[in-house]
Each structure stands twice: as structure tokens, then as C-alpha cells.
């Protein structure tokens, strides 16, 4: 009898945890502003939004791991008044398709960013990046200075931390591997909560958006592949090559990448300054848009 009961509990748990992909059509109906926002960039279908005056100074925004271009909504709306704001979903994130090449390394990100700028007719732009998008942004500024006007790094990734050593790909935990099959919304919410200093900001609508877009076809495989292919290098030699004026934006209550890391960037980048935000977590562009935006707007003028 007890064997049957245990088996029943296992089956019920598996049924509750199993999380299939959502259809691309249903996600596009909810999160795609216009069909023309899906474009081909270097062989990959990319979701982007290009707003503001086309002749204005360009700003390109790059989201973090598991995020999407929607994370920048408050900043993008405000900056689009006098800037051309281009934000996009990294391959395998949001509504962008997984990269057919299967390559999610930083070198591939540099290649895609150049191709995206060329496609949109942008010779130079200010680059704004959050978390791993920050690492992509500062790497691009270091290796392609001729394409970068200014640099805004929002809690950027790049220095070694527990589990992420220089020159060695991280081991992907089994719990992360299992998200291919099991990603119920309550569990995702638990993983998102530490990113916000104010837990009440993580509304059901915001959780639903993150959850929906992580269930796009191929997205979970792409996120795991991106994690597996992340091999950090000592960032200091690259950071010292950055010529663009640089603004660091960091929440003082960031539990994901501590604000103390900003000292390493300020030391390595010649023209960098820091805006730290008390009581704000890892996503100031979401959690504290009104508080964080003025410094960014003034810096980009």
C-alpha cells in the first residue's frame, strides 16, 4: 500500500512541476509590439525595439541573464524623447530565437552587436548594459572603441566570484539543468526575489512576464548553454583599454553582484564614476526607475 502511495505522490509532484514551452504565437501576441520588431541579424532572428528620433544620438541597451528588452521600459520611454533608443533580446532570451550556431560566448555577442548596429545604420552609440549585458557592454567598449560614445554599466558582471573562476567554464548545477523540464512560476518567483531589495515590487504581473518569456521555445536550453559557455577572463586589462566616459549604476542592496565590486571598476576604468542607490537591489532600471534615471539622462546628454 505504501509503495503505491509514494508512487502516486511522485506522479502528482512530477505533474505539478513539469513545465512545457509556451507557443511562440501566444508569446508574440502578448509581448511583441509590432511584427517589424522581429529582424534577421547575422543569421539569427532577433527581437528589438528602435524608438526615438532616428537622427538623435543612439543608445543601445543590453539586458541581463534571463531578462528581456522589457526590463528597460521606463528608461527607454524617457530617453527616447531626445535619443534613438535601441534595445533587443539576446539570442535565446525574450522573443529572440536561439542562435542557430549554438554559440553564446562573448565573442559571438560582439559579432552580433556589430551586425545589429550595421543593420540599423548606427556607426556609434552609447552602450547600456545590465549584469551579463554589462559584461558584454564593457567588453565591446574595450575591443571596439570606435563604435562607442559613452558607457553605462548597471551592476555589471565580469569579475570572478564563487563558482565563476577565470579561464574555466562554470559547472551548471543539476537544479538549473532540471529547469528544462520543471519551472513552475512559484519556484521562479523564489529565484527572482533576491534580485529586488523591496520584495513587494516583484508583482504577479512582473513574475508572469519573466516566466512566460523563459518558456519560449528553446529559451531554457539557450540559457543553460550561455551559462556553460561563460568563461571569464581577468577583466582588468580590458577595462583599462576603455576610452569612453563610463557611468556605473548600482543598488546598494544588490544581493546578486555586490556594490563593493564597483571599486574594481573605478580603479580600472580611467573615466568612470559611480552612482549608488540606497535601498535598491540588482535591477535599478526596474525597481527604482525614477530614482536611477536622472543620473543616466544627465550623463548621456
Chunked into runs of 10 residues, the chain (301 residues) has average pLDDT values of: 36 62 97 97 98 97 97 98 98 98 96 98 98 98 98 96 84 87 94 94 97 97 94 95 98 97 97 97 97 97 89
CB atoms within 10 A of CB 207: 16
- Per DSSP, the three-state class of 33 is coil
The single residue listed with the C-alpha cell 557611468 is 247
Is residue 276 situated within a structural domain?
A: yes
Is residue 156 situated within a structural domain?
A: yes
Is residue 29 situated within a structural domain?
A: yes
User: In degrees rounded to 5, what are phi and psi of residue 271?
Assistant: -115, 55
Show the cell assigned to 119: 543593420
- What residues contact residue 156 under an 8 Å CB cut-off, 6+ apart? 129, 130, 131, 134, 135, 137, 138, 248, 257, 265
CB atoms within 10 A of CB 166: 11
Q: What string of DSSP letters covers 185-218?
A: HHHHHHHHGGG-SSGGGS-HHHHHHHHHHHTSTT
Please answer whether residues 148 and 140 qualify as being in contact, where contact means their C-beta atoms are separated by less than 8 angstroms: yes
Is residue 135 situated within a structural domain?
A: yes
Is residue 244 situated within a structural domain?
A: yes
Is residue 9 situated within a structural domain?
A: no
Report pLDDT for 176. Answer: 84
Report pLDDT for 160. Answer: 87
Q: What is the CATH number of the domain that holds 125?
A: 3.40.50.1820
- Per DSSP, the three-state class of 153 is strand
Helix axes 219-228, 204-214, angle to 10 degrees: 80
Report pLDDT for 108. Answer: 97
The helix (run of H) or strand (run of E) holding residue 127 is: strand 125-130
Q: What string of DSSP letters covers 248-293?
A: EEEETT-SSS-GGGHHHHHHH-TTEEEEEETT--S-HHHHTHHHHH
Instruction: Report d(CA 164, CA 158) in Å as an integer.
Output: 9
Q: How many domains does the chain have?
A: 1
Instruction: Report d(CA 197, CA 210) in Å as an integer.
Output: 18
- What residues contact residue 133 under an 8 Å CB cut-off, 6+ apart? 61, 62, 63, 64, 67, 90, 154
Is residue 177 situated within a structural domain?
A: yes
Is residue 211 situated within a structural domain?
A: yes
Instruction: Report d(CA 209, CA 255) in Å as an integer.
Output: 22
Q: How far apart are the first and last CA of the chain?
A: 72
Domain span holding position 275: 22-300
Amino acid at each position: 500500500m505504501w509503495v503505491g502511495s509514494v508512487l502516486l505522490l511522485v506522479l502528482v509532484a512530477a505533474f505539478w512541476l513539469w513545465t512545457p514551452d509556451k507557443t511562440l504565437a501566444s508569446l508574440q501576441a502578448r509581448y511583441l509590439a509590432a511584427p517589424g520588431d522581429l529582424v534577421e541579424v547575422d543569421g539569427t532572428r532577433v527581437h528589438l525595439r528602435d524608438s526615438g528620433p532616428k537622427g538623435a544620438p543612439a543608445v543601445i541597451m543590453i539586458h541581463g541573464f534571463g531578462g528581456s528588452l522589457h526590463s528597460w521600459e521606463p528608461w527607454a520611454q524617457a530617453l527616447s524623447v531626445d535619443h534613438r533608443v535601441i534595445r533587443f533580446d539576446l539570442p535565446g532570451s525574450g522573443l529572440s530565437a536561439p542562435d542557430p550556431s549554438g554559440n553564446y560566448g562573448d565573442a559571438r555577442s560582439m559579432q552580433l552587436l556589430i551586425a545589429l548596429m550595421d543593420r540599423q545604420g548606427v556607426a556609434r552609440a552609447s552602450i547600456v548594459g545590465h549584469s551579463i549585458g554589462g559584461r558584454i557592454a564593457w567588453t565591446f567598449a574595450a575591443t571596439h572603441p570606435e563604435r562607442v560614445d559613452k558607457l553605462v554599466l548597471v551592476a555589471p558582471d565580469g569579475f570572478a566570484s564563487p563558482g565563476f573562476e577565470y579561464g574555466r567554464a562554470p559547472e551548471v548545477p543539476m537544479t538549473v539543468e532540471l529547469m528544462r523540464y520543471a519551472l513552475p512560476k512559484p519556484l521562479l518567483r523564489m529565484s527572482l526575489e533576491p534580485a529586488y531589495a523591496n520584495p513587494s515590487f516583484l508583482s504577479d504581473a512582473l513574475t508572469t512576464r519573466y516566466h512566460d518569456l523563459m518558456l519560449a521555445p528553446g529559451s531554457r536550453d539557450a540559457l543553460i548553454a550561455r551559462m556553460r559557455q561563460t568563461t571569464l577572463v581577468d577583466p582588468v586589462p580590458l577595462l583599462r583599454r576603455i576610452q569612453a566616459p563610463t557611468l556605473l549604476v548600482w543598488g546598494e542592496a544588490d544581493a546578486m553582484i555586490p556594490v563593493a565590486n564597483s571599486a574594481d571598476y573605478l580603479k580600472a576604468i580611467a573615466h568612470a564614476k559611480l552612482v549608488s542607490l540606497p535601498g535598491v537591489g540588482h535591477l535599478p532600471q526596474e525597481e527604482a526607475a525614477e530614482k536611477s534615471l536622472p543620473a543616466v539622462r544627465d550623463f548621456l546628454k
